[in-house]
Structure 1
Amino acid sequence: MASAELQAKIDQWFKWDKCEKTRAEIQNLIKSENWKALGDVLLTRLEFGTAGLRGRMAAGFNRMNELVVVQAAQGLSSYMKKIFSEKDRINRGVVFGYDGRHNSKRFAEISSNIFVRAGFRVYLFRQMVLTPMVPFTINLFKCLGGVMVTASHNPKDDNGYKVYWENSAQIVPPHDKHIHNTILECLEPWPNSFDTKGLYICTCLMTDPKDAISAYVQRITADVPQKFVDLNSRGDLRFVYTAMHGVGYPFLEKIFAAVKIKPVIFVKEQNEPDPDFPTVPFPNPEEGRSALDMAIQLADREGVTHIIANDPDADRFALATKNPETALWKIYKGNEIGALLGWWAMFLYKEKNPNGDLRNCWMIASTVSSKILRAIGRKEGFNFTETLTGFKWMANEADRLMKNGKTVLFSFEESIGFMFGTNVLDKDGVSAACQLVTMANYLRAVEGISLDEKLNRIYNEYGFHYNNASYYFCYEPPVIIKIFERLRNFTGDQKTYPSSILEGKYKIKYVRDLTNGVDTEQPDGNAILPVSASSQMITFTFENGLVITLRTSGTEPKIKYYAEMCAQPGQSDFEGLTNTTNEMVSAIVEEFLQPNVNNLKPKTD
């Protein structure tokens, strides 16, 4: 029998929810007397954070569904009404976009309906779009903000609600907490919140921002100088492309045609949006070989040596190349692509500004990403800064720099997210693809080298940066907390951390814990970067120069690790540095994460 607390939530659900499917889900759980499952989905709720909302689609306050989206839209619109004037709400409005996932269009329409009824002008795309289109459109039309309905690369049962502010970057504190609190004030559905029947009839406040798509194509292609368009037109490289059952291909096709890149050979089975992702259980090209297997098979059949990929909402970009001598495929890590695109951004700036210098230019990376841009900047003269993990932080830092008259050339994070320039203040997998392919054509035509050869030249000139990053799945939140609490209470006392690995062979110099604010490198022992008690993140810096960060994912049940060994320019013992890094990472995983003890599941490949 349901407890009084649970019964109250059940009654509330049936009073508020208008979706027959999710009402039936709750009813079936009641019939089977599955009180535990009912408690899991009804007694807690999805918390609105800096990533907005993301979760499994199912009935319940702790899942993604129509009622939770209604509540989110009511809270967000109410909060924005507190911030912005009626004139701005009508004239500037908000943007809504959606991808090809189950319920994405419905969630966007429900939200648009609520905002229109609240007196906002709404720009709702009438077609599926890539995530970067929402921040681009906010900037183009000077909107108050926007929402992209997507769960990006998550499994098929998930969906999300990604919120951007008027600067076209994702929200950061304190907006997230204010929005969350306002949602809690607006939980009961307003009259007609679910009713979208007349949504497209309200032409006075409803607009399809379709012109933003052609403007996006024009802006992205304008970053490719005519000299390189000509090289593209003469290039003989071919690329296999997979959209990973997502929305990327129509946008990529337009942009590639505009800069004269030869049409891609696309993986037919994965080229159209399909919310069931039938060929990839994890539709994330970051997964490596398992996600790119069909693209590799197609490339081998076609005799093509280059593969590019986007994730389902096309904000991420992946690259693979085939070695013509060994016939082996190399799947590039995000840090390697970041090194290539960072060098290319600097190179293009010099091409466009032959008499200028780089002292007013900046590049940005997240704190868990490679420091290769810092090494390049030290030699070439541009500035480098790092932020917390996530493009919300990098985009807002880019916005701050631009408002101070700085030029932001490039930003990236190791999880294959790249922001080339500032046309979009978020990662953009299609613009990254455009620049990377143009770069490959230039290197082949002018320098006579491959992308991998260029990467090695970058390492030789600016210092070898070897990265070892991966993750483990952990589906039990208490286990995650136990792992990290053990590390920060290592001797039994609070804020005592490991001092070495492999019985003292490699000693730890500094520890930075952004969960509780410890940073032993700082004179006062306190962290400089923002601290968040709601997430786990500890960085260990070793005396030999290795830096490794252990952190939890904000959107997936993963414990991630990121290790990097940075060599000095001219230091040539790549193999020795690689072996040392791998030895240390293996020890850190075993000693700190203890996968066998904690039943952690490794990455698939």
Structure 2
Amino acid sequence: MSFNKTGNSALDAALISWFESDKSEWTRKELNDRIAANDIAGLESIMLEHMEFGTAGLRARMGAGYACMNDLTVLQAAQGLCRYLQEVNPDVGTQGVVVGHDHRHHSSDFAKITAAVFMSQNIPVHYYKPLACTPMVPFGVIKFGAAAGVMVTASHNPKDDNGYKVYWSNGAQIIPPHDSGIAGHILKNQKPWDGIWESFPTIEDKIECQHENVLSDYITQCTQRSKSMGTEAKNAKITYTAMHGVGTPFVARIFKSFEHPDFIPCKEQVQPDPEFPTVAFPNPEEGKSALNLSMAEADRSGSELILANDPDADRLAVAEKQRNGEWKVFNGNETACLLSWWVYETMKKQNPGANPADYAMVASTVSSKYLAAMAKKEGFTFEDTLTGFKWIGNRAIRFTQEGKKVLFGYEEAIGFMVGVNPPDKDGVHAAAVFGEMMQTLYGQGKKLSEQLDALYVKYGYFISKDSYFKCSSQDTINALFKELREPGYPKACGRFGIKNIRDCTTGFDNRYSDNKSVLPTTADIQMITFYFDNGAVVTMRTSGTEPKIKYYSELPGPLDEK
């Protein structure tokens, strides 16, 4: 294609290469419009930068150019993943891959392109044609013994974003060295393979859809593994929101399997809608601002509990109406306190005489230390990991390989894993388990918040405050963390002394004699933890999926000091 030269030779070369490879009308139109408007700065930002294949895959704004999610960059990612699997796994040709997608704009096309790439190499594709919740992909990887899985979703990101999440053959999100290996092969496979553009629009006609097959097994296994026995049930009302995402049919089905009453839907948000019209950010972690419509519906219907999934249904938020009529939104740590207690009690009920030492729980290192206190008192094994479920899931798998039974894992960002199949956060399964806990406690005349207080009395008090700052400037981020490190780490914050420092970016941790962190070093993510003299722990880190600087703080207290 010919176009007026921009005056930037590197940009012109990138545009020529793009137009030679891209066959999608919507991205070609966007580039032509930018060229016609002489938008050089805009073109440079999308054509001279490439998305980084990082935390579990890709995530970026949808649009034209190498820096965005579009048909060509997804095709390139699929080709790179395919070649990497062929290099490291000689059985990929029989094991195949699992592919699913959510409801976002272009998600279906991205999934079809991925399927077309693998099928062009005679690699079987276990494909979900209807909308899938994210947990179905890692569950399917394990069910089919697949070499990998791909879920097309941007989770709770804004509507203009999309993503490409990759799971390994063990069902967990990818970790090093696979991430860098895949990234390297993506760069080596930029040119579309012959026939891919022509094959993907009709690829679904050539694949047997595995959606119902997998969903049925998933619901059955979740119910058999987690449904308690002999509970005092009460048919209390629950309001549910899918946050304009895919969760509704999956939660409805698992509720039926758990023999819960039907939930009351938040009508404005219960159907999939890629425009997310009622929320600025489709993330239930935002709290009351994201749950106001659900609270209004619950008030109308007389519900005392709200369960909210994020759009791809791998996270769960919980809110409960208190006795004074006010709504309490539980943070991720509080929800985990309740879930871990319930899962542990269910295990003891199902396995009388079980040895606690045979069981394990896992959490990210920025999550509450409550699980560590519970493990110390009860006798099961607990370990924390780097932030992100790729680390939690893989550690849980190693526990099972060591002979431990993993009961629970979580991260404070409302991600919960009950059991270890799939070894990833699962908002659908967690919703069913939480619903059963609520029905039982309500049958005993007890609020969830009251049970939480009882757990604090038993295991210790933990007060946490987590939030974030938006920041898309890498220079600002680098300067901020440089100031925390140079000319030396701070020894105090105001009148509060700092006893120890852990810097997972550099591998430094002065809690140990060799000053080396036992957690893996993550040079691509900034993360520093400060341990205060009074027991408080504060961590600052950058997000791997969003332009945010996050902070986490917690102050523990002894059993007799609320």
* TM superposition score category, shorter chain reference: over 0.9
Find 2:206's aligned residue among 202, 206, 227.
202
Equivalent residue runs for 1:186-335 within 5 Å: 186-195=189-198, 196-203=200-207, 206-225=208-227, 227-228=229-230, 231-232=232-233, 235-325=234-324, 327-335=325-333
> Relative to structure 2, which stretch is displaced further, 332-341 or 515-524?
515-524
Equivalent residue runs for 1:449-528 within 5 Å: 449-489=446-486, 493=487, 496-502=488-494, 505-528=495-518
Give the aligned partner of residue 594 of structure 1.
Answer: none
Deviations 1:457-508 (A, max 9, x none): 100011001111111111322111111111111xxx3xx1111122xx1100
Instruction: Give the conservation status (yes or no) of the 8 Å contact 2:101–2:108.
Output: yes
Residue 209 (structure 1) shift = 4.2
1:9 aligns with 2:6: no
Find 2:28's aligned residue among 23, 43, 50.
23
Find 1:410's aligned residue among 408, 425, 430.
408
- For 2:43 and 2:229, how far apart are their aligned partners in 1? 62
Instruction: Give the conservation status (yes or no) of the 8 Å contact 2:55–2:545.
Output: no
Instruction: Give the conservation status (yes or no) of the 8 Å contact 1:286–1:415.
Output: yes
Instruction: Give the conservation status (yes or no) of the 8 Å contact 1:252–1:430.
Output: yes
- For 2:204 and 2:412, how far apart are their aligned partners in 1? 41
- For 1:545 and 1:201, how far apart are their aligned partners in 2? 60
Amino acid at match of 2:57: G
Aligned residue pairs, count: 556
Give the aligned partner of residue 588 of structure 1.
Answer: none
Equivalent residue runs for 1:550-589 within 5 Å: 550-568=540-558, 570-572=559-561, 574=562
Amino acid at match of 1:368: V
Amino acid at match of 1:173: P
Equivalent residue runs for 1:71-470 within 5 Å: 71-85=76-90, 88-195=91-198, 196-203=200-207, 206-225=208-227, 227-228=229-230, 231-232=232-233, 235-325=234-324, 327-446=325-444, 448-470=445-467
Instruction: Give the conservation status (yes or no) of the 8 Å contact 1:2–1:35.
Output: no
Amino acid at match of 1:351: K
- For 2:61 and 2:298, how far apart are their aligned partners in 1? 34
Residue 419 (structure 1) shift = 0.1
Instruction: Give the conservation status (yes or no) of the 8 Å contact 1:322–1:330.
Output: yes
- For 1:430 and 1:2, how far apart are their aligned partners in 2? 52
Instruction: Give the conservation status (yes or no) of the 8 Å contact 2:127–2:209.
Output: yes
- For 2:368 and 2:27, how far apart are their aligned partners in 1? 44
1:55 aligns with 2:52: no
Structure 2 unaligned segments of length 5 or more: list them.
Answer: 1-5
TM-score by structure 1 length? 0.90
Residue 92 (structure 1) shift = 1.7
Residue 450 (structure 1) shift = 1.1
- For 2:70 and 2:531, how far apart are their aligned partners in 1? 43
Deviations 1:435-462 (A, max 9, x none): 111111112224x311101100100011
Secondary structure, counterpart of 2:155 in structure 1: coil
Residue 558 (structure 1) shift = 0.9
Tell me how large the CA RMSD over aligned residues is. Answer: 1.2
Residue 224 (structure 1) shift = 3.7
> Relative to structure 2, which stretch is displaced further, 521-530 or 547-556?
521-530
Secondary structure, counterpart of 1:270 in structure 2: coil
Instruction: Give the conservation status (yes or no) of the 8 Å contact 2:228–2:350.
Output: no
- For 1:92 and 1:100, how far apart are their aligned partners in 2? 27
- For 2:371 and 2:313, how far apart are their aligned partners in 1? 24
TM-score by structure 2 length? 0.97
Deviations 1:544-580 (A, max 9, x none): 0000000111111111111111122x223x3xxxxxx
- For 1:397 and 1:105, how far apart are their aligned partners in 2? 32
Residue 246 (structure 1) shift = 0.5
Instruction: Give the conservation status (yes or no) of the 8 Å contact 1:224–1:259.
Output: no
Deviations 1:94-141 (A, max 9, x none): 000000100111000000001000110001101001000000011111
Give the aligned partner of residue 538 of structure 1.
Answer: 528
- Alpha carbons of 1:197 and 1:472: their partners in 2 closer, same or farther (altered >3 Å)? closer
1:549 aligns with 2:552: no
1:40 aligns with 2:32: no
Amino acid at match of 2:362: I
Give the aligned partner of residue 598 of structure 1.
Answer: none
Instruction: Give the conservation status (yes or no) of the 8 Å contact 1:514–1:536.
Output: yes
Give the aligned partner of residue 582 of structure 1.
Answer: none
Instruction: Give the conservation status (yes or no) of the 8 Å contact 1:72–1:183.
Output: yes
Instruction: Give the conservation status (yes or no) of the 8 Å contact 1:89–1:119.
Output: no
Residue 226 (structure 1) shift = 6.0
Amino acid at match of 2:491: S
Q: Percent identity?
A: 45
Deviations 1:77-103 (A, max 9, x none): 011111222xx3343210000001001
Residue 271 (structure 1) shift = 0.7
Amino acid at match of 2:224: A
1:67 aligns with 2:72: yes
- Alpha carbons of 1:468 and 1:226: their partners in 2 closer, same or farther (altered >3 Å)? closer
Secondary structure, counterpart of 2:518 in structure 1: coil
Instruction: Give the conservation status (yes or no) of the 8 Å contact 2:333–2:368.
Output: yes
Residue 227 (structure 1) shift = 2.6
> Relative to structure 2, which stretch is displaced further, 266-275 or 192-201?
192-201
- For 2:349 and 2:256, how far apart are their aligned partners in 1? 23
Residue 202 (structure 1) shift = 2.9
Structure 1 unaligned segments of length 5 or more: list them.
Answer: 575-605
Amino acid at match of 2:404: K
- Alpha carbons of 1:142 and 1:373: their partners in 2 closer, same or farther (altered >3 Å)? same
Residue 193 (structure 1) shift = 1.7
- For 2:181 and 2:355, how far apart are their aligned partners in 1? 42
Amino acid at match of 1:409: L
- For 1:250 and 1:201, how far apart are their aligned partners in 2? 24
Residue 223 (structure 1) shift = 2.4
